[in-house]
Structure 1
Amino acid sequence: MLIPYRLADRRLERMLPSADLQEAIWIDLYRPQPEQASRIRAELGIEIPTLADMEEIEISNRLYREDGADFMTVILPGHSPDGKQLSGPVTFILTPDRLVTVRHHAPRPFDTFPARADRSSTGCGTHLRLFLGLVEEIVSRFADLLEAAGRSLDAIAARVYAGSSEPLTSAELEEALRAVGREGEVLARVRLGLLTMERMLSVFGLWRAEQNEHGLKTFVKTLMRDMQALEVHVDFLSGRVGLATDTTLGMVNLSQNQTVRIVSVVATLFLPPTLIGTVYGMNFHNMPELDWRYGYPLALVLMVLSGVLSWAYFKWRGWL
């Protein structure tokens, strides 16, 4: 999908895909088809990287200059076409007069930013300001994800840590573990995104230092500080995830130990009656109780009495 935008009254206005791309200040390519990549190459002279190129882990393949354009690839969290959460590469291409983005998944900032690009801290008067405004939107999205993860961890902690007369069931503990794991995955995606975004902005600052129009270099430094603060927050939440996981697993172990203890006590309750029944189940000839009229009732009484006494002792010791 090819989505071009142009400036209209210092705002972004979406153009028809068939419009003249020379008028576009931002071209967003979402899962570009070969004919769309060929059109960009023919009309603008920009070689669009393939998904395989974008997934290369070498720095030289993610951050490079070619034919006067800067190619910078980062890893951002988003959704696949079928709605699954994942992290995927997004390439920012800065030419002398426009921004081109290439992505194969759907990070939310690419849907929310066009409607409010003029309200970003840098505005959208030039393609560089547009680029930094989009980066700001992505950083804000990271902050929203971290805030949501913090609230989710608060809810899990309130349920798992709080003392309650009704202990959590195995199903509730299992769901708590799943919830903690999901938040851990979100934090990992955000951490990776912050790492690659910080590297991209560092390179952008070096390559575009000569284009310090109206304090853009200062804004780049502000974004870098914001991302570094978010990285500290990610580390803090990651520690909470580890603590919540350990605590929940401890609760699972306690629940299992309680079950095993009950089973062990029940088995022990039946041990004395089983011993009595086993002794009097032996058919040796010289057993005086075999010919005794009250031998069978006495054996039953002894078995019941031994079980009751065992139960009373365990109850007194607090094992039941």
Structure 2
Amino acid sequence: MISIYYKALKKIIHEADIKVFSDLPIDEVLWIDLNNPSLKEKKAVESFIGSNLTSRQKAEEIESSSRYSETENMVIANSNFLIQGEDSFTYEPVSFILKDSILISMRNADLKVFDESSRKFQINYKAFPTGYHIMVALLETRIDLDADMVESIAREISQISKRLSLNTDIDEEIILTINQLQENTMLMRENIIDKQRVLSGIMKSERFPSDITPKLTIMIKDVGSLINHTDFSFERLEYLQNTFLGLINIEQNKIIKIFTVASVVFMPPTLIASMYGMNFKIMPELSWVGGYPFAVGLMITSSILTLYMFRRRKWL
């Protein structure tokens, strides 16, 4: 699918047909958005701008040099955009190409940031006179959405922390939830650092208009704050994980302690029973009238004395 945004009649026109390229002056086009484009659409855009588009393989590279680069007549930036699922995040690589002040964006999935930026762009088109401004606006919206995701993770961590405070039963589900949140936090941090690298490349560039610089400065500060927030969230998750594992160990020790006490309490009666169960011919207790009650009483007394000793030493 293709979306073409161009200036006409003092407003921004949105078209979704490559046929418009035949009658459209190149200096009026601001943004061409390619969402899972067909080969025909890619060829039409390449013919219109006079350059080849970045392949998806290059967009998925993670080397520092591939995040942002400039050629003689183009600016190329690749960035991963997070898609929030029910329990986890996934990456969608997005490529940005700037040529002759036209922004070409390439992706293979629907992303909320593009829909929101498109609405802002058409409502206040004067704030986006070039493709450079649109690209920065897309990154700004992406950073805002990343901040919302970071806050969402922080809320989930707070809920888990409350469960700890309420002394609820600890089960495997909580540990798995913490592990998943740790994975999401790491992915979020990688994603934010990815944006930081792209913004650093833009700040060093001499091609971007000077009126964008103040906004870029604020965006880099926001990114730095988000990185610090994700670091704090990860440390908090590690604390909760260690706390829950410690509580699990305490519960296990309590169970082992119960079995240990039970086995020790029954050891003296077992010894006495085994002694009186011996088949000796001469055993004085056999001729006693109270021999059996004596043996049973001795076993009960030994158990009570053992429990008393445990209580006195505060082992129970």
Question: Structures share a fold, TM > 0.5?
Answer: yes
Q: Are residues 1:182 and 2:183 paired? A: no
Out of 222, 228, 233, which is 1:232 matched to?
Answer: 228
* Aligned residue identity for 1:212: P
1:290 deviates by 4.5
Unaligned runs of 5+ in 1: none
The 8 Å contact of residues 2 and 34 in structure 2, kept in 1 or not, is answered as yes
* 1:100-131 CA-partner distances (Å, limit 9, x unpaired): 22234555323433223457899333211111
Aligned-residue offset at 1:300: 3.1
TM-score (norm 2): 0.83
Which residue pairs with 2:142 in the alignment? 138
Secondary structure at the counterpart of residue 28 of structure 1: strand
Q: Does 1:206 align with 2:204?
A: yes
For the pair 1:196 / 2:194, whether they are aligned, the reply is yes
1:252 aligns with 2:248: yes
**Deviation (angstroms), 1:200:** 1.0
Aligned CA distance change for structure 1 residues 285 and 90 (closer, same or farther; 3 Å)? farther
CA contact (8 A) 1:79 1:85 kept: yes
What aligned pairs does 1:65-84 form with structure 2 within 5 A after superposition? 65-66=70-71, 68-79=73-84
**Runs of 5+ unmatched residues, structure 2:** none
Of residues 153, 157, 163 in structure 2, which corresponds to 1:159?
Answer: 163
TM-score normalised according to structure 1 size: 0.82
Partner Cα separation in structure 1 for residue 230 and residue 300 of structure 2: 61
Q: Secondary structure at the match of 1:25?
A: strand
Q: 1:64 aligns with which of 69, 87, 93?
A: 69
Deviation of 1:282 (Å): 2.6
Larger CA Rg, structure 1 vs 2: 2
Tell me how far 1:272 sits from its aligned partner.
2.1
Give a deviation string over 1:165-220, Cα, whole Å, max 9, x none: xx43232xx3332332233223212211221211111212233x24425x112221
Is the 1:198–1:227 contact (alpha carbons within 8 Å) kept by the matching residues of 2?
A: yes
For residues 139 and 218 of structure 1, the distance between their equivalents in structure 2, rounded to whole angstroms, comes to 16
Please report how far the alpha carbon of residue 141 of structure 1 lies from its aligned counterpart in structure 2 after TM superposition. Answer: 1.0
How far the C-alpha of 1:260 sits from its partner, in A, is: 1.7
Measured against aligned partners, the alpha-carbon deviations of 1:232-283 in whole angstroms (never above 9, x if no partner) come to 2222222212212211221221122222222222222222222222222332
Alignment-derived partner of residue 57 in structure 2: 52
Q: What secondary structure sits across from 1:71 in the alignment?
A: strand
- Displacement of 1:133: 0.9
Residue 275 (structure 2) pairs with residue 279 (structure 1): yes
- Take 1:20 and 1:128, find their aligned partners in 2: how far apart are those partners? 22
Give, in angstroms, the shift of residue 79 of structure 1: 4.8
Identity %: 27
- Paired amino acid for 2:250: L
- The count of aligned residue pairs is 311
Q: Equivalent residues in 2 for 1:48-127 (5 A)?
A: 48-66=53-71, 68-79=73-84, 85-117=89-121, 123-127=127-131
Separation of aligned partners in 2, 1:266 and 1:121: 79
